[in-house]
């Protein structure tokens, strides 16, 4: 894909070993019930579903709905970028450290119609200090379908306090209260409802 050197790991950058607690071969479940990318409680979200392949790579699916259109009948490019961001974020989630997206680069290769399912595969290609380098590819309607979107990203590790300082506080806001409570609101393994949950998750 066309990408800047900001999302390419420096030569010799190590690819981390999978975290010993990282799930392998199982559905990841949402990290937060109201997440626009993966949350089951979000009415118009992407409802992306993901499986950890080997603790460092993730396979995910996203089916484009009516609410995701840009041009009539076609997925909005920003929504497709969100799907890639979410799938990439699930990879750093496996590293058991809090990260945020610093930079996301996207190549739109094919128009993606409403009703299409994207099969997304993401992978960590290196970690240097606080910076994690990742890439992703989305294929249309089958795991071996035509490539529709490619992405590369730089995620930056942040302290848990980042979410407490900038987010809705340790209570998770009213979203946490209405979505089932700490630890369970995410549905699958490791879901969080607040920054405090996130802290317990990465430092149990």
Ligand X SMILES: CCCCCCCCCCCC(=O)SCCNC(=O)CCNC(=O)[C@H](O)C(C)(C)COP(=O)(O)OP(=O)(O)OC[C@H]1O[C@@H](n2cnc3c(N)ncnc32)[C@H](O)[C@@H]1OP(=O)(O)O
**Contacts of ligand X in 129-148 (CB under 6 A):** 129-131
* Closer to ligand X by Cβ: residue 102 or 111: 102
Q: Which stretch binds ligand X (CB under 6 A): 14-22, 71-79, 155-163, 177-185?
A: 155-163
Q: With binding defined as CB under 6 A, does residue 154 bind ligand X?
A: yes
Q: With binding defined as CB under 6 A, does residue 100 bind ligand X?
A: yes
Contact 138, 58 (CB under 8 A): no
Q: With binding defined as CB under 6 A, does residue 168 bind ligand X?
A: no
* Closer to ligand X by Cβ: residue 73 or 160: 160
Least separation, in Å, of the C-beta of 75 and ligand X?
18
Q: With binding defined as CB under 6 A, does residue 34 bind ligand X?
A: no
Q: Which of residues 22, 109, 110, 158 is near ligand X by CB under 6 A?
A: 158
């Amino acid at each position: 894909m066309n990408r800047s050197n900001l999302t390419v790991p420096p030569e010799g950058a190590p690819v981390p070993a999978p975290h010993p607690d990282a799930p392998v071969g199982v559905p990841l479940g949402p990290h937060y019930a109201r997440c626009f990318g993966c949350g089951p409680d979000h009415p118009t979200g992407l409802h992306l579903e993901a499986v950890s392949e080997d603790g460092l790579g993730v396979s995910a699916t996203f089916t484009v709905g009516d609410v995701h259109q840009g041009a009539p009948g076609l997925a909005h490019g920003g929504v497709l970028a969100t799907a890639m961001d979410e799938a990439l974020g699930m990879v750093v989630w496996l590293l058991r450290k809090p990260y945020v997206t610093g930079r996301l680069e996207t190549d739109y290769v094919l128009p993606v119609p409403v009703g299409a399912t994207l099969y997304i595969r993401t992978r960590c290609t290196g970690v240097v200090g606080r910076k994690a380098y990742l890439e992703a590819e989305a294929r249309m309607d089958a795991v071996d379908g035509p490539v529709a979107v490619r992405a590369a990203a730089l995620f930056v590790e942040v302290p848990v306090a980042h979410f407490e300082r900038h987010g809705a506080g340790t209570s998770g806001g009213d979203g946490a209260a209405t979505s089932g409570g700490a630890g369970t609101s995410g549905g699958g393994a490791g879901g969080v409802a607040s920054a405090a949950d996130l802290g317990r998750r990465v430092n149990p």
